[in-house]
Every structure is written in C-alpha cells, then in structure tokens.
Chains A and B, each alone.
Chain A
Amino acid sequence: MSQHSHAHDHDLAHHHDIHSELPPDPALRVKALESLLTEKGLVDPAAIDAWIEVYESKIGPRNGAKVVAKAWVDPAYKQRLLSDGTKAIGELDFLGRQGQHIVAVENTPDVHNLVVCTLCSCYPLSVLGLPPAWYKSAPYRSRAVIDPRGVLKEFGLELPEHVKIRVWDSTAEVRYLVLPARPAGTEGMSEERLAALVTRDSMIGVGKVSAR
C-alpha cells in the first residue's frame, strides 16, 4: 500500500476543519471570499467580470454548432474533423481552455455517441461553453456508463436495439464533441440555417438534431 508516498499531502485534509465553522449558504461564503481575495490582492474583480463575460457572451454552443454545420455541408472538412478534431476546430479558431485537444465522434445510423466525465465534469468548454448542471451531477456521472439507454430515455431519446451506443468517459484532457447526424428535410439549407438547428444537447449526445 503506497500509504506514505503522499505523506506530504496530509495537509490537504484542511477541508475537514473549516466547513463546520462557515455558514451553509454559498452566496455568503463566496462574497466573503471575493472580498478577502480582493483585499489581499489575490484577485482582481475586473478579471472576474471578464471571465464571466467570456462564458456569457463570447463562448457557447454556437461555436460547436458552426463546426457541425460546416461538417454537414463540406465533406472535406468533415473528413478533416474526424481525422484530427483539434486541427479542424482550430481552423475555425474555436480551440481554447478545456478544448485544446478535441476528438469529434460521428453519430451514424448504427452508432450513437454519448459524452460524460464520471470522475468530475470535464467538458469541451471552448466549443460548447459551460456545461449544464445535469452533466456535472451524480445521476448523470454514475449512470451514463452503466445505463446509457436509460439516461437517453430521460432525454426523450429512444434508440433502436441495433444501434450501438458508445459512451466516452473524459478521463484525460482530450475533449469529445459529438457530430450529430444531419436530419432529413434539410437539403439545400444554408450553413447558417443548419447551425441554428444544432442543439447543445445533440453535441453531448443526449439528443438528436431535428429539421424543425
């Protein structure tokens, strides 16, 4: 038993001491933390604002939707996307933190892909923005790998028996983007119009794209 190799990390157990002495309400605690860090010069509130702005306005699932729509209309791009997702997504300048190493996985009539991070909440932020609360929750994290069909059913998606489900557990820094199937009835649509159809959920793999 490698009990002693991390002896110097015993101080990491500070979690245990302090939480019973702090108020349960996170709003109060975060406010106190921000004040403290600001007073000590450990954070610049303007930088906090800037990060919020990044995820509220600059990065979101519209990035991933553009990647998908381009793959639908441009077979050469789709080829590049599936053989080297990082490079192809980089062509559209959509790489970034938690999205520097991306593998695109294609849904076909026979294979349906589903992405999860059982160990924490790893997610391709640079192409999909912030993950939804359910993605980071214990029910999804625990069930996606053992009962993917049951999970998909909760999203209203029932796949035929013959379809193989492939679940991708994001245990490393590789991020997975599902390339959903292009729905019928979208022939001739512009790339822009197609992108508008692509849902965030379809790029995680819990939904399909419909022609609306």
Chain B
Amino acid sequence: MNGVHDMGGMHGHGPVAPEDEKHEPLWHAPWEARMLGITRSMTYPKGFNIDRFRHIRELMPPHLYLARSYYDHWYAVCVAALLNGGLATKEEIKSGHAAAGSAKRNDAARADQVWTSQKTQGIFTREVATPPQFATGQRVRARNINPTGHTRLPRYVRGKVGVVQIHHGGHVFPDTNAHVQGEAPQHLYTVAFSMRELWGADASARDETCVDLWESYLEPA
C-alpha cells in the first residue's frame, strides 16, 4: 500500500541525530523490553506471520505512525491482532483484565523454548518450480504497480530501471503471505538503481541504491 511507512526519499523528517553507540541504552524505558518480549512470545491468531505483522503496522493511522515510538508501533500491532483475531475484546484491552468467566489458555510459548525459537525461526527461502526470469547483470524495470494491500515494492523505485546484482532463489512472497493467501514463493533479486535514475539529474552520478525485489515486481527493460 502507498502508506506513510513508505518513506524512502521523503523530506522534512529532520536530522538523524544519532546517539553515541558507546552510551546508548538498549531500552529507552523498561516497557520497551516488555513489549519486545510480548511481541516475540505472545500467542497470535491462527495464520499470523511476519508479513501480516508488517502490514498491520502499515495500517496504523498515519498520525499515530509518525507520532508513536517504535515499540509503541509493536503495541498497536499486537492489539490489532488480538482484536481482529478475536483473542481479546476492546474492553479487555482497555481494562487490562480478562473479562469475568472468559477462557484461559495454557499453550503460550515457554521460556525454555525461546532460545530454540531464536535460532531456528525465520527461514524464508523456498523452492520455486519455475526457473528465474532474470539473470545477474540484466537490466530490469520495477513495475508501476500500486497494490492497496501489503507490498515491499517501495514507491521510489517504481518505473525505474536497474541492474540485477544478486539472484537469491525463491523466497516467501509477502504480498500474498501478509493476507494469509499463501506463501506463493517467487524468485527474489537484488537490483541496483543509480541515484540519478532514482532522483534525477541533480543526484550523484556515482552512487546507487540496491533493493530486494520479487520477480512479479519486475519486467524486462
């Protein structure tokens, strides 16, 4: 979707103003740590996956997306997932307590499963039956598509021509996976776009940006 999250190239957000690596805290407040732990270990509705998580985050009202801090985005996603999946009600979220007489589950992820989850989860490579359409070194154009659902094709590359740098094989396709319509893996490529191609004649003649794009985002150029 063409949401406010699709930020590449936007102006007006101000300086990066980084904290010194040597002094920055891991958490800026204790609740951030709790929110990370909750997000990692909470029970989600059936079929939930990382692409859905990202999409629900993109659906945050823009003013909240920009105003709320990072882990507060995770809060918004978890709450939306619980409400949409029927795992909690609005009243329960507001009160912080289970409704009287509501069922209690006993299958939440356990502490002793955490390290294994950290080591083994998150493998997204998949077999794809068809051969790759593109080869490294080939010129491709990112298509001008504007899906209203989840996509990982940023607006700033649509319609632009680049060169395939890497072919990664088959990867889970987020545009379908986010909507629980299946993994539908596609060949994934890293495509390099010159800065001039992206931003016009006043941009650097030398620099480039590389973007990971699935086969259906691309057409021959």
Chain A residues at the B interface, C-beta cutoff of 8 Å:
1-3, 5-6, 8-9, 11-19, 21-22, 26-27, 29-37, 39-44, 46-52, 54-56, 58-59, 95-101, 103, 118-121, 126, 129-130, 132-134, 136-146, 148-149, 151, 154-155, 162-174, 199-201, 206-207
Contact = CB atoms under 8 A, between A and B. Distances in A.
Contacts of B213: 171-172
Given A33-B78, A37-B38, A138 B212 contact: no
B11 interface: yes
A164 B117 CA distance: 39
A3 B148 contact: yes
Given A47-B41, A148-B207, A165-B207, A140 B16 contact: yes
A187 B190 CA distance: 35
Contacts of B71: 26
28 contacts: A11-B84, A33-B93, A37-B108, A40-B102, A47-B37, A47-B109, A47-B114, A48-B41, A49-B37, A50-B37, A52-B34, A52-B36, A58-B118, A95-B119, A96-B119, A96-B120, A97-B122, A100-B124, A101-B123, A129-B26, A133-B19, A133-B24, A134-B19, A149-B204, A165-B206, A167-B210, A168-B210, A169-B210
Contacts of A206: 18
Interface of B: 5-11, 13-19, 21, 24, 26, 28-31, 33-38, 40-43, 54-57, 59-61, 64, 66, 68-72, 75-76, 78-80, 82-84, 87-88, 90, 92-98, 102-115, 117-125, 147-149, 152-154, 156, 166, 168, 171-172, 174, 179, 188, 190, 192, 198-199, 203-204, 206-214
Contacts of B212: 169-172, 174
A37 B16 contact: no
Given A12-B80, A100-B122, A142-B9, A174 B97 contact: no
Contact of B88 (A29, A36, A139): A36
Given A47-B110, A97-B122, A145-B198, 12 more contacts: A18-B90, A18-B93, A29-B75, A35-B96, A40-B105, A48-B40, A58-B115, A133-B24, A134-B19, A154-B17, A168-B210, A169-B212
B209 A48 contact: no
A22 B93 contact: yes
A145 B209 contact: yes
Contacts of A166: 192, 207-210
A163 B206 CA distance: 8
Contacts, number: 324
Nearest to B72: A26
A95 B124 CA distance: 13
Given A48-B41, A51-B37, A139 B114 contact: no
Nearest to B203: A146
Nearest to A45: B37
B159 to A, nearest CB: 16
B113 A47 contact: yes
Contacts of B111: 44, 46-47, 49-50
A153 B109 CA distance: 44
A32 B72 contact: no
A48 B37 contact: yes
Contacts of A47: 37, 40-41, 108-111, 113-114
Contacts of A44: 41, 108-111
B14 to A, nearest CB: 5
B38 A54 contact: no
B188 A139 contact: no
A55 B149 contact: no
A201 B168 contact: no
A14 B79 CA distance: 9
A54 B40 CA distance: 11
B94 A142 contact: no
Contacts of A154: 15-18
Given A49-B111, A141-B8, A149-B204, A15 B37 contact: no
A5 B147 CA distance: 10
